[in-house]
Amino acid sequence: MDNNSLSVSPLNNYCNLYGHHHVLPREPAMDAARELMTQLAHNKCIDFASPKELACKELNTDCLYGKARGKMFGVLSCCKSSGEKQILKAFSGQYQGRWEVAGWAPPLFDVQEFSLLTQPVERRIKTLGREAQDPMLSPRSREGLLKKRKELSQQLMKEIHGLYRLYNFQGKQHSLVELFADGSGIPTGTGDCCAPKLLNFAAKNGLQPLGLAEFYWGRTNKSATRDEGYFYPACRNKCGPILGFLLCGLEKNPCRT
């Protein structure tokens, strides 16, 4: 099922901020990634700790074969300061509307802070959308409402990006806004993929990465570029600009010498 694994290159990124090139191999994480595939296929849910009748109710994998289709999963093989090995796992974006699931790497922001910021603004945006559909409105009034909705959405996205904090293995941290300071714009979903979640969590918790592997699980995506059970490299447009920074300091890893 993973017969393309050998053709996938290591995580290989240049940090524009500090001018260093970093490489993280994939092979040390491959066995753990295959084991995660086995668990997903067997349990048919992503909650491996709770009793099956409870875990599969809200966190089942049925959603990965429906309209929303599949998603990427990732595994990071690490070692602790003691030399003991540890395996981290992550899913891309949200899972069934959840940013946090026990046993999986969290997002790059505080979820409670995110909710406090987004919920009231999103309610206002939806209200403006409904108001703009009123058939009694003049074209000018409708245009004004839609413009206001767009402005609120754009401002909200800027504030959301400001919540993302990225940590590397040099003990440094930056926001997404700082890492995209060249004005090129931040692609939607940047920082929500598996690799950033895994590396960020490892750096914050004093874990030293040994290898990282990402694979797709579920129904083939709409563009037919992702198939279940296949390994894929990190995306270039969203992960490319930030992975170099996240990997900084990896060369000092005592587990890799």
pLDDT for 17: 65
Q: Is 88 exposed, middle or buried (0-12, 13-18, 19+ CB in 10 A)?
A: buried
Which residues lie closer than 8 Å to 254 by C-beta, 6 or more apart?
A: 208
pTM: 0.89
Mean pLDDT by 10 residues, the chain (257 residues): 51 68 90 97 88 74 94 97 95 95 96 96 96 94 96 94 94 89 84 97 96 97 95 89 90 57
Cβ-based neighbour number of residue 55 at 10 Å: 17
Q: How far is CA 130 from CA 83, 146, 153, 155, 204, in A?
A: 57, 10, 15, 20, 42
pLDDT for 119: 96
pLDDT for 48: 83
pLDDT for 5: 46
End-to-end CA distance of the chain: 32
Q: Are 78 and 85 in contact (CB under 8 A)?
A: yes
At 12, give phi and psi (nearest 5°).
-135, 105
Q: Which two tokens stand for residue 33?
A: 């990634």
